[in-house]
Amino acid sequence: MTAFNLKKFIKDKEVKDLLAGLATSMDEDFCVKDNDNEILYGTDGGDMTNRLPVTANGETVGLVYGRNDKEIAVMATCLNHLTGAETLIRAQTAARQAAWNELTTIYDFVEQVNAFDIQQIADLLIRKVSGKIEADNVSVILINEKTGKLEFIPDGNGAAMSITAIAESLRSFGNAEIINDCRSDSRLATDSISSLIYAPIKAKGNNNAKPIGFAFASTTDTHPFSAADLDFFRTLVSQAASIIDNAILHKNTVRKKAVIDMAKTLVATLEKRDLYTAGHSRRVKKYSLAIADYLKDINTEDKDRLALAAELHDIGKVGVRDKVLLKPFKPTEDEWNEIKLHPIYGEEILTHIDEFEDVIKGVKYHHEHFDGSGYPDKLKGSNIDLFARIIAFADAFDAITTERPYERPFDGKKVLSPDDAFERLKKDAGTHFDPEVVAAFTKAFTDGKITA
């Protein structure tokens, strides 16, 4: 805080008028001098030997002289009230200016950054911090949600070993803080930096959640960080946090869509390869959703997952050789065993992609039978994933109402009408199929919701 300038203060007309008014009302002469003995108000008549200090911010900034103690005391009290009020106004103005600067910085931040580019957000955060806080290093680190690994952005692996080690120590920190003596802080175990300022990056609107990352600035010299540095750093990081959180969400959504589109393209390619199953996945999805509409406790999100599982249920057939898959006659036992591997292949294709976590069971178990006589794991009853039980029925319904390479009319099997197929499959409730799924399908069928 700058020193209080008594001379400038007393030059103010309002202050001068007030002092003159006081002097007149008390019928006394006064003189105010600064610490250099310069007269700022009144005249020194030589007989003004009594004096009292004038203070501002707890420091003596001048003296008030007069002839009588009592009157001087009134004058000094009045002056000290005035300097106190002036100090307060200045502090408030400074605080308002600081708040304004902070707002401007944040506004700039939001304006300047591409809200979906995490690298760019981190880069801007680092530049903003570096422009305001004296630091040798500013790092932004995200914690990979799946692997738990720390990821420096925007550099990737560019951070020095010492900084990487400090980042590892910081991952267990909670609230924003300053450490101005890093070498004696047992949590850090470092000799490479002297001061550090830390702030967590928390997902928007969830301050109690574990941080999705953190930022820190450090110095190697003895320059300590101040409370104002921490305020600025914390505000900027928290602002960046909500943008980063949005960007991650956006990135995941884009990625999810890309991965799902890729899988659907794979299925479409498969169906092009095998003309007999053209449209099979689409129809199985449609029948599965019609069944789901008549089952209790299936919400919209479940239906989205079911739709995806149904659409991808035969994706594993890409692993079955053309010569087997496209064979126009009934397969041999070996060939049949190869076809029966497609649910496992499906699981293998989808298993490494997070986006498919919720649909794998529906794919893997769509050939299980309710009585345990299916494949690949001979699961029974409710041990079979509900999506798989639904898809199993939808799959069978489509299989017997459509020509297929290994169940074709010329092999002695007839393509059935929907009514005949329905009557035929109903008999397998409790053996092949989950009775509740069959009941749901029955209602959907009766209501005219099952159309080819």
Q: Which residues bind Fe ion (CB under 5 A)?
A: 314, 395
Q: Which is nearer to Fe ion, 153 or 325 (CB)?
A: 325
251's CB contacts (< 8 A; 6+ apart) are: 116, 118
Q: Which is nearer to Fe ion, 214 or 422 (CB)?
A: 422
Among candidate residues 391, 218, 225, 228, the one with its CA nearest the CA of residue 310: 391
| Nearest-approach distance from CB 313 to Fe ion, in angstroms | 6
Smallest gap, in angstroms, from Cβ of residue 350 to Fe ion? 14
Contact 362, 391 (CB under 8 A): yes
Q: How far is the CB of 216 from Fe ion (least distance, A)?
A: 53
Long-range contacts of 90-97 (CB under 8 A, 24+ apart): 91/1
- Give the integer Cα–Cα distance in Å for 76 and 82: 10
Give whichever of 202 and 342 is closer to Fe ion, judged by the CB atom.
342
Q: Which residue has the tokens 């689409």?
A: 282
Please, which residue, 22 or 326, has the CB nearer to Fe ion? 326
Q: Within 13 A of 157's CA, how many CA atoms are on the CB side?
A: 1
- The 3-state DSSP composition of the chain as helix, strand, coil percent (nearest 5) reads 55, 10, 35
Min dist. Cβ of residue 433 to Fe ion (A): 14
Distance between CA atoms of residues 63 and 71, nearest Å: 14
Nearer residue to Fe ion within complex by CB, 71 or 368:
368
Question: Whole-number minimum distance, CB 399 to Fe ion, in Å?
Answer: 7
CB of 373: closest distance to Fe ion in angstroms? 16
- How many Cβ atoms sit within 10 Å of the Cβ of residue 272? 10
Q: Considering the complex, what minimum distance in angstroms separates the CB of residue 426 from Fe ion?
A: 20
Give whichever of 118 and 400 is closer to Fe ion, judged by the CB atom: 400
Per-residue tokens: 141: 């680190």
Q: Report the residue number, 335 or 395, with the smaller CB distance to Fe ion.
A: 395
What is the per-residue DSSP string for 174-218?
-S-EEES-GGG-TTT--SS-SEEEEEEE--TT-TTSPPSEEEEEE
Provide, rounded to whole angstroms, the least separation between the CB of residue 405 and Fe ion.
12
| 152: helix, strand or coil | strand
Q: Which one, 314 or 368, has the nearer CB to Fe ion?
A: 314
Alpha carbons 46 and 40: distance in angstroms, whole number: 15
Q: How far is the CB of 346 from Fe ion (least distance, A)?
A: 8
8 Å CB contact between 128 and 229: no
Please answer whether residues 242 and 250 qualify as being in contact, where contact means their C-beta atoms are separated by less than 8 angstroms.
Answer: no
Between 204 and 424, name the residue whose CB sits nearer to Fe ion. 424
* Residue 31 contacts residue 44 (beta carbons within 8 Å): yes
Can you read off the two tokens belonging to residue 234?
A: 């914390």
Least Å distance, CB 395 to Fe ion, is 4
Residue 314 or 335 having the CB closest to Fe ion? 314
Helices (H), 402-434: 418-426
DSSP string, 71-123: HHHHHHHHHHHHHHHHHHHHHHHHHHHHHHHHHHHHHHHHHHS-TT-HHHHHH
Cα angle 56-58-59, degrees, rounded to a multiple of 5? 70
Please report, for residues 127, 394, 428, the alpha-carbon distance to residue 450 in angstroms, rounded to integers and kept in the order given: 60, 10, 18
CB 267 within 8 A of CB 281: yes
229 vs 274 by CB, closer to Fe ion: 274
Nearer to Fe ion, 245 or 314 (CB): 314
CB of 203 to Fe ion, least distance (A): 40
